[in-house]
Amino acid sequence: MATRPSDGTNQSLGEAFADYVPSLEGRDIVTIRERYGLVIDGQEREAADGRTLTTIEPGSGAPLAEVARGGAADVDAAVAAARRAFDDGWRGLAPRVRAKYIFRLARLIQDRAREFAVLESIDGGKPIRESRDIDIPLAAAHFFHHAGWADKLEYAMPGMDAHPLGVAGQIIPWNFPLLMAAWKLAPALACGNTVVLKPAETTPLTALLLAEVVAEADLPPGVINIVTGDGEAGAALVSHPGVDKIAFTGSTTVGKAIRRELAGTDIRLTLELGGKGAHIVFDDAAIDQAVEGIVDGIFFNQGHVCCAGSRLLVQEGAADEILRRLRRRMDLLRVGEPLDKNTDVGAINSEAQLGRIGAFVDEAEAEGCEVYQPLGALPGQGFFFRPTLVTGLGGSERIAREEVFGPVLTVQTFRTEDEAVAKANATRYGLSAGIWTEKGSRILWAAERLHAGVVWANAFNQLDPVSPFGGVRESGFGREGGRQGLSEYLRLEPRA
Ligand code: NAP
Ligand code: MG
């Protein structure tokens, strides 16, 4: 059994992959400019104080582009533009016309899907297979889904009069840049709101490509404004008195600060925060499928997934066999260049995140946990981390309790159903959980008891615009997707 390789190469797998020829998706299909501005009122402009930030390509570590670093003055201009767009037309637009615009966005994203996928992988580091097959199609699906609701809100909210809230401030993270933008923008627009969107500082480029699509779709200026920047721009948006709603996806720490900031105001708030999802495997589970589910649950998107199944709980009798097969499966995961179509695990989003993940694993090892990582070469540049399995935990280690947000799976065992649920619930988070068993009654029994906004059975990480997504406890509140997601962007009054 291999433990942690000390350097980038190894005799066995390193050699097996030595003559591997990558199959790269062409980066020439995207144009990356040297400099990007903010998009306010349909116009691109520099930040008021001229500041910029550099977005990096995680797969190489090289700078990609300079992007405007928005501040309070820019947020103020963007909120004013969104208010004008709301008052001057968007709120009063016939719902079927709103629908038409959102359908256009969906179709244009589909038309330019390859471009979006390549840009997402370059700027964020995720494997092209995922951006091509999951992120971009799902983003288009969210616009299609919500376009369909725009003129059917009275059916979505029976017995209620549904009104838009006004201006929505939306702050998103770097793990699913375009998809999180779609989760935020599509319902807001469908419900008749206008928007100021703040992308994450490490992944602004697909939101800026989306701004091109918004112009192409001929949306009225000011309906969607994009203020790139760092946490300062996010904070300015949260504290702006002109917004009617804040929708935030990000860390629990920032989410809590936002909630404190908005306490006592009537600004509507939804928070999609961190997670520490339990992935429970009973000894009667279909073992190969469960192993695939476990791999997908934690190594999808390098584990930069709020709903990742980062805590594996296996029933004692099946643990040895499952871990044996899991290690073998991990050995076959190809960590590599994000634009390589055969890459399974791409680049870690930033050097800072790479450092955080490494620190978690080093600390666990120092505390006496066993760390397993497949050997084999990592790319010579960029930010990469091997898929990692951590066993021998007591349960009180930081790695067992806190969100790592990387390709790191901890393992604990359990004997009974009650113990499985108790261990799964022993966290301050409550976003996702997964159960693998052949027994339907056990799935229903456990799903009722698990403190999680989403519970998957014999599957993991399945996302669909029809199904509401969100957390409980310190994973936040509010839902995105489904009918529930719409109501977060509406003021409802009982129909007279
Ligand atoms: P983060 O630091 O909280 O950042 C999220 C967003 O908020 C970014 O756009 C960030 O800007 C901005 N921001 C930072 N400080 C702010 C402040 N004081 N006020 C307002 N906005 C601020 O989170 P992250 O580390 O980038 O993202 C990873 C976290 O997001 C994980 O904990 C993950 O679980 C969570 N997440 C949750 C979901 C979900 O649906 N529940 C989905 C994806 C991710 P900068 O990028 O410039 O810092
Ligand atoms: Mg980047």
Q: Across all residues in the chain, what is the average pLDDT?
A: 96
Residue 7 has pLDDT above 70, yes or no: no
Residue 18 has pLDDT above 90, yes or no: no
pLDDT tier, 371 (very low <50, low <70, confident <90, very high otherwise): very high
CB-CB neighbours of 235 under 10 Å: 19
pLDDT tier, 14 (very low <50, low <70, confident <90, very high otherwise): low
Residue 12 has pLDDT above 80, yes or no: no
CA distances from 63 to 154, 175, 190, 260, 357 (A): 48, 19, 36, 36, 22
Cα 376 to middle of ligand 1, angstroms: 32
Given phi > 0 = left and psi -120 to 50 = alpha, else beta, which region is 444? alpha
Cα 267 to middle of ligand 2, angstroms: 31
Residue 345 has pLDDT above 50, yes or no: yes
Given phi > 0 = left and psi -120 to 50 = alpha, else beta, which region is 239? alpha
| Pocket flag, ligand 1, residue 338 (CB < 6 Å) | no
Ion ligand 2: residues, CB within 5 A, are 55-56, 123, 202
Residue 15 has pLDDT above 90, yes or no: no
For 354, what's the count of Cα atoms within 13 Å in the CB-facing half-sphere? 16
Question: Which domains are present in the chain?
Answer: 27-273+472-494 (3.40.605.10), 275-457 (3.40.309.10)
∠ CA 185-173-421 to the nearest 5 degrees?
105
- Ligand 1 atom with the shortest distance to the CA of 174: 26
| Pocket flag, ligand 1, residue 431 (CB < 6 Å) | yes
- What H or E segment, with its residue span, contains residue 389? strand 388-391
Cβ pair 458, 286 in contact under 8 A: yes
**What does the pLDDT look like over 198-253, one tens digit per residue?**
999 999 999 999 999 999 999 999 999 999 999 999 999 999 999 999 999 999 99
CB-CB neighbours of 473 under 10 Å: 18
Please confirm, yes or no, whether 307 is among the known catalytic residues.
Answer: no
Q: Whose Cα sits closest to atom 41 in ligand 1?
A: 272
Percent with pLDDT over 70 in the chain: 96
**What does the pLDDT look like over 51-97, one tens digit per residue?**
999 999 999 999 999 999 999 999 999 999 999 999 999 999 999 99
Q: What is the pLDDT of residue 16?
A: 57
Q: What is the pLDDT of residue 8?
A: 43
Question: Going by DSSP bridges, is the β-strand pair 370-372/388-391 parallel, antiparallel, or unpaired?
Answer: antiparallel
Q: Whose Cα sits closest to atom 12 in ligand 1?
A: 231
Cα 325 to middle of ligand 1, angstroms: 35
Q: Which ligand number lies closest to the CA of residue 175?
A: 1
Percent with pLDDT over 90 in the chain: 94
